[in-house]
């Protein structure tokens, strides 16, 4: 007979909380494991640069290197777009602002306490 290892079998579902995280054994709604893994690691310096390659000639300002969670990143993106009076999006940990707004974005980030630098030409 084989003995079953009880420590490797974890609770997967609870009638009280629903699905459970296999790593931290908390309800999925309260699990922070996935958020910690998804948060990009930063070198401490936020890079702001301009790009037009692959965008049909349209210029966008990109902000990379922010070590923020998805919600804070979306909020900061909204503030930067409002400061520039322009549209944009947040994709894969990168804030994109439509148009060439590097100086405005740099000033806004430095005002909020980020160590932002201009990158590229």
Q: Where are the domains of the chain?
A: 12-39, 42-118
Which residues on neighbouring strands pair with residue 116, listed in sequence order? 46
CB atoms within 10 A of CB 68: 18
Supply 77's token pair: 């993106």
| Average pLDDT of the chain, as a whole number | 79
Alpha-carbon gap, residue 105 to 46, rounded angstroms? 11
pLDDT in the model for residue 3? 45
Name the pLDDT band for 85 (thresholds 50, 70, 90): very high
Structure tokens at 55: 């965008």
More reliable by pLDDT, 32 or 79: 79
C-alpha 94/C-alpha 62 separation (Å) is 7
What strands lie across the sheet with 116-118, from one edge to the other?
88-91, 94-98, 60-64, 46-51, 116-118
Confidence of residue 17 (pLDDT cuts 50, 70, 90): low
Identify the CATH homologous superfamily for domain 42-118.
Answer: SUI1-like domain (3.30.780.10)
In the numeric block, the tokens 């590097």 are attached to 102
The answer, yes or no, to whether residue 7 has pLDDT greater than 60, is no
Choice between 4 and 96, residue whose per-residue pLDDT is larger: 96
With a cut of 70, say whether residue 48 has pLDDT above it. yes
In angstroms, the first-to-last Cα distance of the chain is: 69
Identify whether the C-beta of residue 73 lies closer than 8 Å to the C-beta of residue 93: yes
**Residue partners of 77: CB distance under 8 A and separation at least 6:** 88, 89, 90, 95, 97
Share of the chain above pLDDT 90, in %: 31
Query: Is residue 41 over pLDDT 60?
Result: no
């Amino acid at each position: 007979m084989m003995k079953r290892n009880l420590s490797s079998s974890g609770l997967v579902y609870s009638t009280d909380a629903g699905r459970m995280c296999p790593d931290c054994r908390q309800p999925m709604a309260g699990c922070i494991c996935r958020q910690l893994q998804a948060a990009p690691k930063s070198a401490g310096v936020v890079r702001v640069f301009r790009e037009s390659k692959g965008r049909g000639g349209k210029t966008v300002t990109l902000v990379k290197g922010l070590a923020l969670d998805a919600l804070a990143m979306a909020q900061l993106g909204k503030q930067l777009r409002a400061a520039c009076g322009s549209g944009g999006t947040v994709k894969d940990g990168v804030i994109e602002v439509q148009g060439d707004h590097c100086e405005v974005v740099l000033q806004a980030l430095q005002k909020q306490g980020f160590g932002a630098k201009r990158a590229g030409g």
